[in-house]
Structure 1
């Protein structure tokens, strides 16, 4: 499957290139290389605070992979917020290799989850955060999108 199959939103804003590792009910490791077509570039720079979207996309892929194991299709999830977002470099540049490792801390039956995410640039830790997400069932998403 393609990354776009795991993220049910516009491919124009898909920031993840590849799944490196997926451990069900535990973690995901993804990779991306900052390229000139990246929609978040400003003056050739990808400002690190925007990496929260990359972390969120890693969790979207994780959720879609979990759904795939249950025979379900990928649906929209929601980033509710973040805590302890730490940035150790102001920006990335074109050509930088980004690796994100996200680990499940809590995931309940309603779809609420808490994940610890770390972002490495060229092998060095450059950002980390605790993300709160909601991955509701398909009926909830249909209702929310119709309102």
Structure 2
């Protein structure tokens, strides 16, 4: 499957290139290379505060992989917020390799989850954060999108 199969939003803003590792109920490791077509580039720089979107996309892929194991299809999830967002590099540049490792801290039956994410730039820690997400069931998403 392609990354776009795991992220049910526009491929124009898909920031992840490949899945490196997926451990069900535990973690995901993804990779991306910053390229000139990246929609978040500003004067050739990808400002690190926008890396939250890359971390969120890693969790979207994680959720879709978990749903796939249950025979369900990928649906929209929601980034509720982040805590402890630490930035160790002000920006990334075209050609930089980004690896994100996101680990499940809490995931409850309602779809609420807390994940610890670390982002590495060319092998060095570039940012980390704790992300709160909601991955509701398909019926909830249908209702939310129709309102």
TM-score of the alignment, normalized to the shorter chain, above 0.5: yes
> C-alpha separation between the residues in 1 aligned to 2:65 and 2:82?
22
Unaligned runs of 5+ residues in structure 1 are: none
Q: CA deviation at 1:131?
A: 0.1
Q: CA deviation at 1:32?
A: 0.1
> C-alpha separation between the residues in 2 aligned to 1:39 and 1:117?
22
Deviation digits for residues 58-115 of structure 1, max 9, x if unmatched? Answer: 0000000000000000000000000000000100000000000000000000000000
Deviation digits for residues 94-142 of structure 1, max 9, x if unmatched? Answer: 0000000000000000000000000000000010000000000000000
> C-alpha separation between the residues in 2 aligned to 1:93 and 1:106?
33
**RMSD between aligned alpha carbons?**
0.2
Unaligned runs of 5+ residues in structure 2 are: none
- Taking structure 2 as the reference length, the TM-score comes to 1.00
Number of positions where the alignment pairs a residue of Structure 1 with one of Structure 2: 147
Q: CA deviation at 1:143?
A: 0.3
Matched, 1:120 2:120: yes
Matches within 5 A, 1:37-52: 37-52=37-52
Q: Which runs of 4+ in 1 moved over 2 A?
A: none
Q: CA deviation at 1:4?
A: 0.1
Instruction: For residue 116 of structure 2, give the secondary structure of its aligned residue in structure 1.
Output: strand
> C-alpha separation between the residues in 2 aligned to 1:28 and 1:108?
18
